[in-house]
Amino acid sequence: MRTKVVIIGGGPSGLLLSRLLSLENIDNVVLEKQSREHVQGRIRAGVLENGTIEMLRLAGVSKRLDNEGFKHNGIELSFKNHGFRIDLKKLTDKHVTVYGQTEVTKDLYEIIEKENGNIINCAEDVLPQNVGEINSFVTFKKNGIENKIMCDFVAGCDGYHGISRKVIPENLINVFERIYPFGWLGILSETPPVKEELIYANHGNGFALASMRNNNLSRYYIQTSLDDRVEAWDDKRFWEELKRRLPIEASESIITGRSIEKSIAPLRSFVCEPMNWNNLFLVGDAAHIVPPTGAKGLNLAVSDVYYLFNGLKKYYLFNDDKDLKNYSTKALSRVWKAIRFSWWMTTTFHKFPEQTSFDQRIQDSELEYLENSIASQTVLAENYVGLPYEEF
Ligand code: APR
Ligand code: PHB
């Protein structure tokens, strides 16, 4: 078998890249380790930047998003149980859209299966080979049978635990990492969201976030310690702690109910430089991880796709490899800004184990300053709605 681009991983970045390449008649194959049901069952964040929406529109998957997504013109921040609003629209003339990443993945799968049919699910032992040379190929097993696909390029869209980054010789990459000393305990509940906009709360007991999926599906998170267990948090305990941390009006009006999903996730910042090794290009979580506090994970994966897609398009359509050669530099410039923003949101809103009363006062004063300074609000808003992509 031969194709132009083998895409390893059928998460949002692999699917979006595949779809965009197919629309330009650039042959590609997606090799995904898991089944389609498994990929579509994963619950992930759901705040989309305008740039992400535009890319999904270009891929022809914006219909359901336009109908079912919620436009948010602001977010609420809170400290000491006191909330205030950041007017994203007024400050940046942009908004964000709340639409679950799970839904984005479903929409992409549906259109690719219908029109291109080039996703191979349940592909085992996927291994990119010879990526440093001209005759690159990828091997994998499907139903016990060995397969080999020759290709020009490999896109490593296989997430943090994938194989793509691991095949790059260690002496050719630099890794930058911060592991945060806490996790997020998240629940989904079939209750109306406490507010029409998201609430990010700093509290002496730790961070809390009120988010949503739709009018009757809420997503709430509280910061927990790393050794905490889901079993230790029955619904009653979760709601009590959440209410303690949210702004007073929200705690008083929140409608609680049975949780339909509950899990704990660790928080980490991670960047691998460069984001390519010859013909192998890393995209999305394979190259970088952000803590969820700034809602940047998926959006960053999509901006990588933007840079790689445009580089590949120029290469195949105009025989020009300049942008492909600059992929890592261009993508990383935006990646680091999102890494910084997510780190800042995390540092400003969470309680660190070694935190002193001095540190808490610094956080309180940072948030009080934000509440009263348009300059400070603009910095936050610009980053939250998403920094612009570099034009081609
Ligand atoms: N072979 C083939 N597929 C693999 C392999 C492998 N060795 N390892 C992992 N995969 C698949 C996973 O099963 C998953 O479906 O690669 C996919 C990677 O998807 P994501 O982890 O969702 O990463 P990405 O597409 O870059 O999306 C980034 O999604 O994961 C969230 O928080 C993340 O929001 C961010 C965004
Ligand atoms: C979510 O809805 O799951 C969500 C929203 C915003 C974040 C993180 C997660 O910053």
- In this structure, are residues 157 and 17 in contact, taking their beta carbons and an 8 Å threshold? yes
- What pLDDT was estimated at residue 44? 79
Least confident of 36-40, 54-58, 66-70: 36-40
Amino acid of residue 362: I
**pLDDT at position 135, please?**
86
Write out pLDDT tens, residues 203-229. 999 999 999 998 999 999 999 999 999
The verdict on whether 384 is a catalytic residue reads yes
Indicate whether 162 pLDDT > 80. Answer: yes
- CA dist 190 and 178 (Å) reads 34
> Is residue 41 scored above 90 in pLDDT?
no
Query: Going by C-beta distance under 8 Å and a sequence separation of 6 or more, which residues neighbour residue 160?
Result: 270, 285, 286, 289
Best of 6, 20, 30, 33 for a ligand 1 pocket test (most atoms within 8 Å of beta carbon): 33
Q: Ligand 2, closest atom to CA 293?
A: 10
Which ligand is closest in space to the CA of residue 218? 2
Q: Which two tokens stand for residue 236?
A: 């009653």
Average pLDDT over residues 106-114: 95
Could you report the per-residue pLDDT of 380-391, keeping only the tens digit for each?
999 999 999 998
Mean pLDDT of 364-373: 98
How does DSSP assign 117-155, residue by residue? --EE-S-EEEEEESTTSSSEEEEEEETTEEEEEEESEEE
Distance CA 319, CA 270 (A): 34
Q: Is 72 a known active-site residue?
A: yes
Closest listed ligand to the CA of 43: 2
Distance from Cα 287 to the centre of ligand 1, integer Å: 11
**Given the residues 180, 200, 221, 327, the one annotated as active site:** 200
- What local confidence, expressed as pLDDT, does residue 249 receive? 97
196: Cα separation from own chain's centroid: 22
Pairing of strands 153-156, 280-282: parallel
Residue 160 annotated among the catalytic residues of the structure: no
State residue 217's pLDDT score: 92
Distance 138 CA to ligand 2 centre (A): 35
Question: 117 falls in which pLDDT band (50, 70, 90)?
Answer: confident
- Decide: 304 in ligand 1 pocket, CB within 6 A: no
DSSP for 291-332, please give it.
-GGGS-HHHHHHHHHHHHHHHHHHHHHH---HHHHTHHHHHH
Ligand 2 pocket, residues with Cβ under 6 angstroms: 45-47, 198, 209, 211, 219, 292-293, 295
Give first-to-last CA distance, the chain, whole Å. 32
Distance CA 157, CA 283 (A): 5
Q: What is the pLDDT of residues 261-319, one digit of tens each?
A: 999 999 999 999 999 999 999 999 999 999 999 999 999 999 999 999 999 999 999 99
Do residues 335 and 300 touch, judged by C-beta distance below 8 A? yes
Q: What is the whole-number distance in angstroms between the Cα of residue 295 and the centre of ligand 2?
A: 6
Mean of all residue pLDDT scores within the chain: 96
Per-residue pLDDT at 134 exceeds 80: no
What's the pLDDT band for 46 if we cut at 50, 70, 90?
Answer: confident
From the candidates 33, 72, 313, 351, give the one annotated as an active-site residue: 72
Distance between CA 92 and CA 288 in Å, rounded?
Answer: 26
